[in-house]
Chain A
Amino acid sequence: MDINTAQALIRFGLGRRGEEPLPADPHAWLLAQLRAPDPARIEPRPTVAEGLAALRDDRANKPPPGQSLAGALFKAQSAAELANALTTPAPFRERLVWFWTNHFTVSRRRGEVTPLVAAFIEDAIRPHVTGRFDDMLLAVMRHPAMLLYLDNAGSVGPNSPAGTRGHRGLNENLARECLELHTVSPLAGYSQADVTEFAKVLTGWSVERRTEPFGFRFRPEAHEPGAQTVMQQRFPPSEAGGVAALHFLAAHPATCRFLATKLVCHFVADTPPPDAVRRIEGVLRDTRGDLGAAAAALVSLDAARQLNTKLRTPQEYVVAGVRMLDIPAEQIPNLAGIAGGLGQPLWSAPAPNGWPDKAADWAGPEAMMRRIDWAQGFAGRIGTSDPVELAQANLGPLLRPATLDAMHHAGSRRDAFTLLLTSPEFQRR
């Protein structure tokens, strides 16, 4: 394995799977994943309708803790998503799905979101990771998971028919996070007035939970009348005004800068090199938000050739470890729970800004000890594989002589594999 292959498999992928053939041209292999259709088959395909049905059932039947339909759905769906990650032939694409899922965080910490996260990923994220950012943004903002997670489903324009007769009013949560976390970011220098006006633009963007068709529903009776001004742009009332506002925000130069910074931070370095950010920002601007073009440009960055600057998150770490032994998902009960034990329960980020993306955030002493403990337990599954061969096949030129030497001197195959799993070169990417 040469350094370019290691870069493709580890920095941009999920680690080598078993003895899968190495790509002849690693760069072309990554780009081909962006061009080809997404091979993911999440079975059964999660839907908003079944998620909302589970919420209705749970509300009616009040199951004891741990026995809700919503929780059962979450468990099955998270297992299916991770099973796909273990075997996908397009790991770079999967990493992009993970990146954008975290960018647009919805979390089961808001209970209602629990049975909707998987559908959110399949409906709003996965179809757009090599498409256009404004399409993804629109799909996200119309998705029941996001509308419930950030409280927009119940936001009512104060001067709308529903607002004038009822007790409910404006909820700014989604509007604020959309500006701050999803699009322009505070770099753009917007004001509280912009947040409020944008929240009015989004009034009526709600969820139909009780009758078909289930899912997004624009409720005119809750929509604030009159045009609103957001960041010096006027948007007419109606659903179309909201769509126009999202297109405006998606194309904003501050959005290109913010997204470029996050992409470079995730795929290249905790401290994004300014020229790398400028390059990606330029691609996003010049292509009007083509996320596939941005992903392709990431692969070509000079800065991306400096490997092992990033620490694998618990989710990336566990998946890379299991892929190395190529153990089928059904033989790893509760894979999502393992990542949780290491500090990153799947789809359960504590706040709308998602999981942190810098090494220091994941390298706490107890976090490291938990990795070691998991590694030691998991290493028992090495069977009769040769740990040194595994190390060479998976890390190639990144494997340090010191690690190899320690593995050669380990008292058992399992200990040697534990050393590999806990080595800095395996923990990083």
Chain B
Amino acid sequence: MNTFLSRRSALLGLTAAVTLGRASLAVAAAPGDHRFVVVIMRGAMDGLSAVVPYGDPALHTLRGEIVPPAPNQPDGLLDLGGFYGLHPALAEFHGLYQAGELRPIHAVAGSYRVRSHFEAQDYLESGADHRMTSGWLNRAVAAMPRSGGVRPEGDVLALGVSVPLLLRGAATVGSWAPHGFGTPAADLYAAIAALNQPDPLTGPAIAEGLRARGFSQSVMTAGDPAPKDRNAFPALAKAAGELLAAPDGPRIAALEIDGWDTHTAQANRMTGPLKQLDAGMAALKAALGPVWKQTVVLTMTEFGRTVRVNGTKGTDHGTATVAFVLGGAVAGGRVQATWPGLGAGKLFEDRDLAPTLDLRSVAKGLLAQHLGLGDAALAQVFPGSGSAQPSLGMLRV
């Protein structure tokens, strides 16, 4: 707590905080000007495609057909220091990395070992390996040290039409969505069209409706976002940035981006969501302006995907993956990982990237060092997480 206070005091320029008495201690310990954003990537992002361990000798043997070209080749990986490379769709991320503001964390997974999207997303968001009715970020807000009173609009904002489990709970949560937001992603449209295809009435009507809205069959099978949908996430992220930048606005926000469930044609299908994520974080940074310096973003997904390619040039549900920690307050420019390796005998259940870091350790480290939660609060936020000690040192202190 003391280390935290001194760090925060220095950061906020409140060098005299400790001597100012209880109220000022609360000010110093309050969320203050710190912004925290969580991006939920629904559908299980393939970490091995986002941050490619091209230096691992087993990589090409196991999944050569979906690995982008090596760094310095046309459309090649964006190098992260000789072993890892960012997917070529993550150009903005690469810039952040070079500026020391992006810290990919590899071979990370939640504490659960299920491969059902729904169950895993529940656990990812509730922060436990059983179902809870509140989310860890809401409990974190409730436990956050704060200066006198609650903000009239609340500290927390859900971007999108619904409040994710991550943000549900006792603390007040606002939500905001742009007008007309929330049309399905292209692959969901495609699934809906396929399910209706046998119906003599709804089948042709939906096919024609999609055509009229500018979808083509090739667009949907390639997995590109719909024309209308292409900027949905960047627009949402930009709005989040504008709202968070306001002096009396919320301090914590959650966004969702889907389209990661790449069971087929992964090399094509992943490009769209990655580009959206990349553009979204750039838009968030731009909208935050100077506040970016006090911002930390955590991106997380329910699990990773199989290391080997399946029979349809995609990957299936796996275990460990990548979490990105980025922002002006992040000690970036390096990949954080205890690399488990991909060679024989190293995969989890002989199919998945083995986890070497608990995602709760990442979240706990951020909550402790960025939002000021102490050990007791962290234990409430992540029940039963004693084995997952906070991962410290992810931020510029």
Contact = CB atoms under 8 A, between A and B. Distances in A.
Interface in A376-428: 376-377, 380-381, 383-384, 386-387, 400, 402-403, 406, 409-416, 418-419, 422-424, 427-428
Contacts of B202: 311, 363, 368, 424, 427
B184 A376 contact: yes
B254 to A, nearest CB: 13
B293 interface: no
A359 B205 CA distance: 11
A376 B213 CA distance: 16
Interface in B120-169: 121-122, 131, 133, 160-162, 165
B118 A372 contact: no
Interface residues of A, number: 39
Given A311-B201, A413-B117, A365 B191 contact: no
Contact of B195 (A364, A366, A367, A422): A422
A427 B205 CA distance: 13
B92 interface: no
A360 interface: yes
Given A409-B263, A411-B44, A423-B195, A376 B183 contact: yes
Contacts of A368: 196, 202, 205-206, 209
Contact of B182 (A311, A377, A412): A377
A419 B195 contact: yes
Interface residues of B, number: 41
A369 B121 CA distance: 28
B199 A424 contact: yes
Given A380-B160, A411-B42, A411-B43, A372 B191 contact: no
A369 B210 contact: yes
A369 B213 contact: yes
A410 B118 CA distance: 9
Contact of B206 (A369, A386, A418): A369
B242 interface: no
Contact of B258 (A311, A359, A415): A415
Contacts of A412: 42-43, 117-118, 121, 258
B261 A365 contact: no
A57 interface: no
Given A376-B182, A376-B184, A411 B201 contact: no
A410 B117 contact: yes
Interface centre among A380, A415, A423, A427 (most CB of B within 10 A): A415
A418 B188 contact: yes
Contacts of B206: 365, 368-369, 372
A286 interface: no
B195 A424 contact: yes
A104 B210 CA distance: 36
A19 interface: no
B212 interface: yes
4 tightest A-B contacts by CB?
A380-B162, A411-B43, A365-B209, A411-B261
Interface of B: 42-44, 117-118, 121-122, 131, 133, 160-162, 165, 182-184, 187-189, 191-192, 194-196, 198-199, 201-203, 205-206, 208-210, 212-213, 258-261, 263
18 contacts: A359-B201, A365-B205, A369-B212, A372-B184, A372-B189, A372-B206, A373-B183, A383-B165, A386-B118, A411-B261, A412-B121, A413-B117, A414-B42, A415-B184, A415-B188, A415-B191, A418-B188, A419-B192
Given A413-B118, A415-B191, 10 more contacts: A363-B205, A365-B209, A368-B196, A372-B209, A373-B184, A376-B188, A403-B195, A412-B118, A422-B195, A424-B198
